[in-house]
Chains A and B, each alone.
Chain A
C-alpha cells in the first residue's frame, strides 16, 4: 500500500490510483512502415528494471489525470512524480532507492559541504 503523490492533488492513498505500466513509450507515428519486430517491441517489450523505473499512474478515483512517476522497484520508494509532457527527471546513479529524494539530497549536501561542517 503505497502513498503516491498526484502532481495535481498531492499525496493520496494507493487505492485512489491505477498503475499504467512503463512511461515514455511513445506510439510510433509511422505504424504502417514498422517491421513486425518493431511493432511487437512497441506493444510488448518493457524494460522491467531492478531499480529505477519510469512509470505511468492515473489518479483514477481522484482527479482522473495521468502522470508519470519514478519509482525504485526494489524498495517501492518514489524519487519524483511529474506531469505528462514534463521532462523525465534525472536520477543520480548512486541513489539506491532506500531514501526519499529529500533525504538523499539532504545527505549529499551534508557530505558536500565545503567547510566540512554538517549543515
Chain B
C-alpha cells in the first residue's frame, strides 16, 4: 500500500534513494527529490490540515510557494517551524511534520464545530462581536481570538541553527529560473556581465520540470541541463537554487533568502549556515517568476482533492505521482488540457468539465481522440465528500454564466483539477513601485511602468507560450546586460519550439450553484483565511467596497500566503458586484516579503554577543575579578555594585554609599564621554554650545555646562576644562557621547564651516578613576609625588598634570558626589594598573569601590541631575532651578531664543523639586505620579518622580521629581497613588538637596 499513487517510470525523483518520514506520528516512505506534498500524495494522504476559521478539512492545492492549504508544523522542539508549505519542503530522511490548526487531530478536530456555526462567523466577525465593552479587549477577547486564530506554533527554545548574511553587487539579477529566467541568464551571462540567477526551487527549469515539451528537438530537461551547464561554466554568473527573491526595495536593492541546508534536515554541524540572507544591489533586474494558476470559484471548492490543474500536472510529470485515480479537470481554457492528457496517459480516468460551449483546437481534438469525455458549456455546481473528495455535480450553465441551464448530474471523482486562467507573478514588480495594468485579452494584471531599471519576462510578463518565454528571456537578458555596460544588446536566437495553439478562454468568475451564493455551500476564494465570495457580498452590502477596506474587513489575502491564489478572484467578485471592470476595483500593493522569511535569516550573524557590541573599560578585568554586578549603560558594561559575601543589592549599595561618604570611594568613570576640542575659535564655539560663558575661563580651570537644543531644552551636561588657550577637554554623559560629538560636528560643518574648531572623540583614550570622600586627599597624596593635592592649592574645578600611581595623569577636581573628589585620567593602557594600585593603597584609607547605583544615590543626595533621567527633552535649565547657569550677558547660544517663547516662559511649568515621603522607609517607584488629592480617576497629575532611592547618609528615602510650579510649592503636601490602586503615599515637596546643603564637603 506504500506509495500506491506512484506512476511507474515517471518523475524526476530518485527511486534508488527511498526516504522515511513521519507525518502526524505515522511513518511513510518517499523518494529523494520529493517534496513533503508529493510524498504525501504518493501515499494517498489527502487530508493535510484544517482551515483557519471553520476548521474545514483541507488538502494540497498547489505544487509551489503559493500553497494556501498545506501549511504544516515542520519538526519539533527547538527547530520546529510553523506554516511551512508542504509543497516547498524537500523530503529528507527522518523529516517529521504535523498538521496544524487542529485539535486533537486532523482527522477529528473539535474546532470543526465552527463550520456548523459558520453563519455566526461572517466577515468582520471579530469587529462586530468583540466591540463592547472595550475594557474586555485585553483580558478576554484577545485571548479568545488568539486561541481561535492559531496558525501553527512558534518555537519556544533558542534556535540552534546558524544563519548568515551576504552583501552582493551585480549587473543583472534574475528572479526565477524557468524558461524565461534561464534564457535571460544565458543572454546576459554571455556578455560577461555579473549575473545572479535565483530560483526558489531545488532545481532550475520552473514550469519546464513539469512539462513534456521539446526544445530545439530535445526534451526540455536536456535544454535545462545544457543551459545550467553553460551558466555554471561562466565565472561571473552565480546560480542560486533554493533561493527566493523575497523583496524589492528602492534603488534596486533586493533581498534573497537562500535555504542552504533546509533540504538536508536538522544538522549538528553549523559550519554551514542553515539559511543565508542575501542583500543585493543590482544595476538591472529581470523578473521572471512565472505565473500562478487561478482557482475557479465554485461551490465547496475546498475539498481535499481539489487542486490546480498545473499542480496536478506537476505531481504527475515531475514527481511521478497521480493526484487521483478519477480526475475531473474543470477549466475555461486550453492550458488544463495537457494535464488531462498526462493524467489519462498515467492511467487515471479523466473527464473534462469545460466552461466553454464549443471548445476547439488541437488540444481539444487530442483529448477527444484519447477518449476523454468533455462536458462543454458546463460548470461544477457542488462537491461531495468531507475529508476526501468523492464526487462532484455538474450542470450546463446559462449563456451569461450566472445560472444553471439544466439540472446537475453527478460524476464520481477523487480529484478535481481546476484551471481558471493565469495570474502573472507581479509581486516583486509591485514592491518596486511598478504599476500594474489589466490585460483584457489575457484577463490578468501584467507589469506596467516602473521607475527602477527592471524588466519582466515570460509568464510573469503575461507571455504564457513557451516560445515567447524563451524569446523574451533572451531579449531581456541581452538588453539588461547592455544597459549595465555589457554587450551590444542583441539577443541570441531563440531555440525552436513546437508552437502550441490555444483556443480562446471563457472566464466565469463565480460558477453558479443550485442554491444561491452563501446558502448551504461555500465558494472559497481565499482558502487560507477561509474567505468566501459570500463574504465579499456581505462586505459590499455593508459599504466596504474599496479594495483596501475589503481586504481588511474580510481578511482576504492577509494569510501567510498573502493571497497568491485569491486576490484577483476577490477583485473579480467585487467587480461583479459593483458592475465595474476589475482594474476599476483596483489592486492592493504587494508588500515584502514574497514568502515568509525566518527571523533567523533576517538576523543572520547578528545575534547573541554579535547583536550589540559590548564596550568595556580598561579596568573591566578587575571588576570581574572583584565580583561586580554589571549594568548596561548604552553599549557599556558598567559595574552596578560590588556585593560582598552574601549581600544583596540593597545591602551592597547602602554599604558603598555610607563608606564613600565616611572614608573614601573609588568609581570607574571611564565611560564618560570625552571630546578633545581645539582651534582658535574653540572658546567662541563653546560659548555657542553651552548656556554659560567660556571665553572668560582661565587656562587650567574647568566649568560645568549644560547643553541645549535649539528648542531650549537640556540635552546633555558635563564639565569642560581649558587645557590651553585654544584647547579644551569636554566631558559628556556616558550615553550622550556620540550624540554630542555628532551635534558639535553638525553645527561646525553646516552652520559655521569658516570657524576653526576641531573635535575628536577621546572617550576610549582615557581611563578615569574617580576618588571621592573625606580621605580622598590623603589617598591622593599616597599616589602622587608631583601634584600638590591640597585643596587649598588645587582648588575645586582646577586641573593638574603629573604622575599618579606611576602613570602620566591629568587630574581634575570635579565632584559628582559633592565630596572632595579627584578624577584621575590616565592613558587607557595604564587604566587597569592604576586602578589596581589605587585599590591597594586605598586599603589603609578605608577605600570602597562602588558602582553606578551608589553613584546615583550619592548624586541624588546632592540634588545633582542626570540628563535623561531627571530630564526628558522637555526641561529647560530654569525648570531645573539652574537659572544661574544661563548667561544673561551672552547675545546668543543654542536654544537661547526659545527661552522667551510663550510656552517656555510661562508660569506653571514642571520644575525640579525634592520629594520626601511621610514614611521615611517608603522608596517611591521612579515614574510615580503625584496628585493633589487622592480619589477616583480621572485625577489631574501634578508631576512625576524622576529619581528615588534609600539614602543611608540622609537616613531615609529621598526622591527628585518634576512638579507643576514646583519651585513655588516647597513645603506643600501631595499624594502618590500606587499601581495597586489602593496604596497612597503622602509626600512633601522640598528643596532638591538632601545632604550637605551648604556644600562644605566639596573642599574636604
Which residue of B742, B746, B897 has the most chain A CB atoms within 10 A of its CB atom? B897
Tell me the A36-83 residues at the B interface (CB within 8 Å).
36, 39-40, 43, 56, 58, 60, 64-66, 75-77
Chain A residues whose CB sits within 8 angstroms of the CB of B900 once the complex forms: 36
A32 at the interface (CB under 8 A from B): yes
Cα distance A3–B169 when bound, in Å?
12
Q: Flag whether A20 is at the interface (Cβ < 8 A).
A: yes
* Chain A residues, Cβ within 8 Å of B751: 26-27
Q: Which residues of B in the span 871-922 have a Cβ within 8 Å of any Cβ on A?
A: 891-892, 896-898, 900-902
Chain B residues contacting A36 (CB-CB under 8 Å) are 900-902
Q: Mark B736-762, 1 if CB is under 8 A from A, else 0.
A: 000000100110011101000000000
B746 pairs with A20, CB closer than 8 A: yes
Known pairs A64-B745, A85-B753; A43 contacts B710 (CB<8 A): yes
B251 to A2, Cβ gap below 8 A? yes
Supposing A3-B281, A66-B745 touch, asked if A31 and B253 sit within 8 A by C-beta, the answer is no
Taking the closest CB of chain B, its distance from the CB of A36, in whole angstroms, is: 6
Nearest-Cβ distance from residue A47 to partner chain B, whole angstroms:
17
**Contact call B892/A32, Cβ cutoff below 8 A:** yes
In the complex, what residues of B have CB within 8 A of residue A1's CB?
249-251, 253
User: A40 with B746: in contact, given A3-B281, A98-B451 (CB under 8 Å)?
Assistant: no
Given contacts A3-B281, A32-B892, A36-B902, whether A58 and B746 have CB atoms under 8 Å apart is: yes
Q: Is B711 an interface residue (CB 8 A)?
A: yes
The reply to whether B749 and A60 form a contact with Cβ atoms under 8 Å apart is no
**Which interface class (under 10, 10 to 19, 20 to 34, 35 or more) fits B?**
20 to 34
Residues of B within 8 A of A64 (CB): 745
Any chain B CB within 8 A of the CB of A107?
A: no
CA of A9 to CA of B249, assembled, Å: 23
Residue A40 contacts which of B250, B281, B901 (CB distance < 8 angstroms)?
A: B901
**A39 is contacted by which of B433, B745, B897 (Cβ under 8 Å)?**
B897
Q: Is the CB of A75 within 8 A of B898?
A: no
Q: Please, how many angstroms separate the alpha-carbon atoms of A13 and B253 in the complex?
A: 10
- Complex Cα spacing A1 to B281, Å: 10
Taking the closest CB of chain A, its distance from the CB of B321, in whole angstroms, is 42
Residue A34, interface by CB 8 Å = yes
Interfacial chain B residues near A2, Cβ < 8 Å: 250-251
- Convert A1-13 into 0s and 1s, putting 1 for each residue whose CB lies closer than 8 angstroms to a CB of B: 1110000000001
Q: Number of A-B pairs whose CB atoms are under 8 Å?
A: 53
Q: Are B451 and A84 closer than 8 Å at their CB atoms?
A: no
Question: Contact: A66 with B898, CB < 8 Å?
Answer: no
Q: How far is the CB of A108 from chain B (nearest CB, A)?
A: 18
Among A13, A66, A75, A77, point to the contact of B750 (Cβ < 8 A): A66
* Interface residues in A, total, Cβ within 8 A: 26
Q: Contact: B281 with A13, CB < 8 Å? A: yes
For the complex, give the distance between the alpha carbons of A75 and B250 in Å: 9
Task: Please indicate the chain A residues that have their CB under 8 angstroms from the CB of B745 in the complex.
Answer: 58, 64, 66
- Contacts A36-B902, A39-B901, A98-B451; is A84 near B750 (CB within 8 Å)? yes
The verdict on A56 contacting B750 (CB below 8 Å), with A1-B251, A77-B451 known, is yes
Considering only CB atoms, which chain B residue lies closest to A27 in the complex?
Answer: B751
Q: How far is the CA of A76 from the CA of B451 in the complex (A)?
A: 10
Contact B897 A66 (CB under 8 A): no
**Would A75 and B451 count as touching, CB distance under 8 A?**
yes
Nearest-CB residue, chain B, relative to A43: B710
Of A1, A13, A56, A85, chain B has the most CB atoms within 10 Å of the CB of: A1
Known: A39-B901, A43-B711. A31 touches B749 (CB 8 A): no
Using A1-B251, A77-B451 as known contacts, say yes or no to A31 and B742 having CB atoms under 8 A apart: no
Q: Across the interface, name the chain A residue whose C-beta is closest to B710.
A: A43
How distant is A104 from chain B, measured CB to nearest CB, in Å? 13
A54: shortest Cβ distance to chain B, in Å? 13
Quick one: which of B250, B753, B897, B898 contacts A84, CB cutoff 8 A? B753
In the complex, which residues 693-751 of chain B have their Cβ closer than 8 Å to any Cβ of chain A?
A: 710-711, 742, 745-746, 749-751
A31 adjacent to B750 (CB under 8 Å)? no
Q: Which of B251, B451, B897 has a CB less than 8 Å from the CB of A31?
A: B897
- When the two chains form their complex, are residues B249 and A60 in contact, meaning their CB atoms are under 8 A apart? no
| B650-673 interface bits toward A, Cβ cutoff 8 Å, 1 = contact, 0 = none | 000000000000000000000000
Q: Do residues B746 and A66 form an inter-chain contact, with CB atoms below 8 A?
A: yes
The minimal Cβ–Cβ distance linking B613 to chain A, given in whole angstroms, is: 13
Neighbouring B residues of A20 by C-beta, 8 Å: 746, 750
Q: How far is the CB of B285 from chain A (nearest CB, A)?
A: 14
Residues of the A chain whose Cβ atoms lie less than 8 Å from the Cβ of B249: 1
Q: Which of B235-259 contact A (CB under 8 A)?
A: 249-251, 253
Contact A60 B742 (CB under 8 A): yes
Q: How far is the CA of A85 from the CA of B742 in the complex (A)?
A: 19
Q: Is the CB of A76 within 8 A of B902?
A: no
Q: Given A32-B892, A43-B711, A60-B742, does the pair A65, B251 have CB atoms closer than 8 Å?
A: no
Q: Are A84 and B749 in contact (CB under 8 A)?
A: yes
CB–CB B896/A31 < 8 A: yes
- Residues of chain B within 8 A of A85, CB atoms compared: 753
Q: What's the nearest-Cβ distance from chain A to residue B967, in Å?
A: 24
CB-CB nearest in chain B for A1: B253
State how many angstroms separate the Cβ of A37 from the closest Cβ of chain B. Answer: 10
- Structural contact, A66 and B749, CB atoms closer than 8 A: yes
Residues in A neighbouring B250, C-beta threshold 8 A: 1-2, 76
| A98 CA / B891 CA spacing, docked (Å) | 47
In the complex, the chain A residue whose C-beta lies closest to that of B903 is A36
Q: Given the complex of chains A and B, what is the CA–CA distance between A32 and B893 in angstroms? A: 10
Whole-angstrom distance between the Cβ of B244 and the nearest chain A Cβ: 18
Which residues on the B side are within 8 Å of A65 (C-beta)? 749
Task: Write the chain B residue with the least CB distance to A26.
Answer: B751
Complex Cα distance, B902 from A39, in Å, reads: 12
| Cα–Cα, bound, A32→B901 (Å) | 11
B251 interface neighbour in A34, A40, A76, Cβ under 8 Å: A76
Q: Measured between alpha carbons, how far is A84 from B746 in the docked complex, in Å?
A: 11
Contact code string B431-471 (vs A, CB < 8 Å = 1, else 0): 00100000000000000000100000000000000000000
Distance A36 CA – B905 CA, assembled complex (angstroms): 12
Chain B 250-285, CB within 8 Å of chain A: the 1/0 string? Answer: 110100000000000000000000000000010000
Closest A residue by C-beta to B450: A98
Chain A residues with CB below 8 A from B251, complex form: 1-3, 76
B402-439 vs A, Cβ < 8 Å mask (1 yes, 0 no) = 00000000000000000000000000000001000000
**Residues in B whose Cβ lies below 8 Å from that of A60:** 742
Chain A neighbourhood of B253, CB < 8 A: 1, 3
Contact partners of B451 in chain A: CB under 8 A: 75, 77, 98
Q: How far is the CB of A118 from chain B (nearest CB, A)?
A: 15
Give A75 to B753 CA distance when docked, in angstroms. Answer: 32
B945 to chain A, nearest CB (A): 30
A84–B750 CA distance with the chains assembled, in angstroms: 6
Report the minimum CB–CB distance from B885 to chain A (whole Å): 19
Is A31 touching B892 in the complex (CB atoms < 8 A)? yes
By a CB distance below 8 angstroms, the chain A residues around B892 are 31-32
- For residue A24, which residue of chain B has the nearest CB? B750
Q: In the assembly, what is the distance between CA of A97 and CA of B451, in Å?
A: 9
Which chain A residues numbered 84 to 105 have a C-beta less than 8 Å away from chain B?
84-85, 98
- CB–CB B898/A43 < 8 A: yes
List of B residues within 8 angstroms of A31 by Cβ:
892, 896-897
25 A–B pairs (Cβ distance < 8 Å), ordered by A: A1-B249, A1-B253, A2-B250, A3-B281, A13-B281, A20-B750, A27-B751, A32-B892, A32-B896, A32-B897, A36-B902, A39-B898, A39-B901, A40-B901, A43-B711, A43-B898, A58-B745, A60-B742, A65-B749, A66-B750, A75-B433, A76-B250, A84-B750, A84-B753, A85-B753
Chain B residues in the interface with A (C-beta under 8 A)? 249-251, 253, 281, 433, 451, 710-711, 742, 745-746, 749-751, 753, 891-892, 896-898, 900-902
Closest 6 A-B residue pairs measured CB to CB?
A: A1-B253, A31-B897, A66-B749, A3-B251, A1-B249, A98-B451
Known: A20-B750, A39-B901. 18 other contacts (CB 8 A): A2-B250, A2-B251, A3-B281, A20-B746, A31-B892, A32-B891, A32-B892, A32-B896, A43-B710, A56-B750, A58-B742, A58-B745, A65-B749, A66-B746, A75-B451, A76-B251, A77-B451, A84-B750
